[in-house]
Amino acid sequence: MSRWASALPNREELAEAKRKAIIREAARVFSRRGHGSSLDDVAERLGVSKAALYRYVDSKQDLLYACHLEAMEIARESMDRGEAKGRTGLEKIRIGMADYLREMIGAMGVPVLILEENALTGKQASDIMRLRDDFETRMRHLVEEGITDGSIVPVNPKIAIFMLLGAVHWVTKWYSPEGAWSADEVADALMELATRGFAAEPAAKLGATLHR
Amino acid sequence: MSRWASALPNREELAEAKRKAIIREAARVFSRRGHGSSLDDVAERLGVSKAALYRYVDSKQDLLYACHLEAMEIARESMDRGEAKGRTGLEKIRIGMADYLREMIGAMGVPVLILEENALTGKQASDIMRLRDDFETRMRHLVEEGITDGSIVPVNPKIAIFMLLGAVHWVTKWYSPEGAWSADEVADALMELATRGFAAEPAAKLGATLHR
C-alpha cells in the first residue's frame, strides 16, 4: 500500500466519521429542542430518512447515550491536552476546561450534558455517571496538584470544581452560536474569570478579549 | 389596639403565611422530583388533602408560577440586603449572592429556578423572564459600580454575572441538605471563590470555613 492510499480513510473509518457527525448533530437537536425530541426530528435536521439513521443507531435512547459518551470523550481529551500543555495545576485546569468549553459550544452547538440527564436509565445512566465521577475526581486532583505546586490558593477542591462546572454548564442557558461572541472568546473569558477565583497569584488585569 | 394585639398576625396574615409555607414545600417537591410532579405529590408531602391545597392555589401551573415568583422575590430581597450592607460593588454582590444562595438551599431545599423553566407558558413565562432580566441587569450594574469604585477588576459584566449565576444554579445538581455541608457553609465558600475571580485585590487567603 502506498503512503497515499494509507492516508485515505477506509470503509470503517468512513462509517465511524459519519456516525460521529450524526451524534454531533443529534446533540445539537437535543440541546436546542429538549430531550423530548424524536428520532424523526434528528433525521429531519440531518436531511436523511429515519431508516438511514437506523443504520447507525438502534434507538433514541442509544443516540442520547452516544451524545453523552461523546461529551465525556471531549471532556477527557480536553483535560489530556490541558495536562500536556499546562505547567502547573492551575494552568492544566484552565487550559483543559477552556478547551472543553470551546469544543462543546463550538463543534457541538451547545453543551448537552444537562438536558438529557434524566432521559438515560439503567446501565447507560450508570455508565455516564461513572464517567462523570471519574472526570470530577481527575479535576479535583488537579486542584490538589495546584495547591501543592503553589499555583492554587488553599481551597476546598470540591467547591472549586463545582464552581467551575457550574460556570461551564450554565452556558447552555445563555450562549447562542448566532450571537456576537465566538466560542473561543466565551471559553477564554469565562475560564480566565472562574480559575482566577482560586489562583494563588491572580493577575492584576484580565487578558481575555471580552474583558478588554 | 394595644401593642401586643397589633403584634399578633391577623387572619389575612395567617392565610398569607400558610400560602408561603405551601409554596416553599411545593418548590422542594418540584426541585427534587422534577416539574412533572403533580398537585397530589405536593399535597401528600404537605400531609393535606388536595381540596385543602386548592384553597390556596388554582392549579399546578399556578403553584409553579408562585414558586418562581417566590424565588425571584428571594433574589430581590437578598440583593436589597447586599446593597444595604456592602460598601463597594464587590461587597454588595458577594453579600447579596451568598444571601440568595443561603436562602435558596436553606429554606427552599434546593433552587427551583432551572427545573421548571419550560413548564411555564404565556404571561406567566414572560413575567418570570422579565423578573430575571431585571435581576441580571441589576447584577450587571453592581459589577459596573465595582469597576468604578475600584473593587472590581475591569471585566465584561455579562460574563462575570453568567459565571456567578452558573456557580449558583449548578448547586441544584450536587447539594444535599442531608449532606455534610450546611447551606451557610456552601453559600460562603462558593461565593467567596466566585467573586474572587473578579476582585481587584483578591485576598491572599480564603476565609470561608470550607476552604480552611
Task: Report ipTM (2 d.p.).
Answer: 0.85
Integer Cα distance of B139 and B143 in angstroms: 6
All cell numbers assigned to B13: 396574615
- Select the residue of A170, A190, A206 nearest B153 (Cβ to Cβ): A206
Integer Cα distance of B121 and B116 in angstroms: 11
Residues with Cβ within 8 Å of B80's Cβ and at least 6 positions away in sequence, in order, are B96
- For residue A157, the chain B residue with the least C-alpha distance is B211
Q: Which residues of B touch A165 (CB under 8 A)?
A: 170
Integer Cα distance of B37 and A191 in angstroms: 36
Local structure of residue B199 (DSSP, 8 states): B
Q: How distant is the Cα of A3 from the closest Cα of chain B, in angstroms?
A: 48
Q: In terms of DSSP H, where are the helices of chain A?
A: 3-7, 11-33, 39-46, 50-54, 60-85, 89-106, 122-149, 157-169, 171-174, 183-196
Local structure of residue B121 (DSSP, 8 states): -
- Select the residue of A163, A186, A193 nearest B155 (Cβ to Cβ): A193
- For residue A155, the chain B residue with the least C-alpha distance is B211
Q: How distant is the Cα of A88 from the closest Cα of chain B, in angstroms?
A: 18
Residues with Cβ within 8 Å of A57's Cβ and at least 6 positions away in sequence, in order, are A19, A22, A39, A63, A66
pLDDT tens per residue across all 212 residues of chain B: 445 556 667 788 888 888 877 888 887 777 666 666 788 888 888 888 888 888 888 888 888 888 888 888 889 999 999 999 999 999 999 999 999 999 888 866 555 555 445 668 889 989 988 998 999 999 999 999 999 999 999 999 999 999 999 999 888 778 888 899 999 999 999 999 999 999 999 999 999 999 99
For the whole model, what pTM was predicted?
A: 0.85
Please name the amino acid found at residue B157: P
Burial call A6-26: b when 16+ CB within 10 Å, e when fewer: eeeeeeeeeeeeeeeebbbbb
Q: Which residues of B touch A33 (CB under 8 A)?
A: none
Q: Which residues of B touch A160 (CB under 8 A)?
A: 193
What is the count of residue pairs from A and B with beta carbons less than 8 Å apart?
A: 105
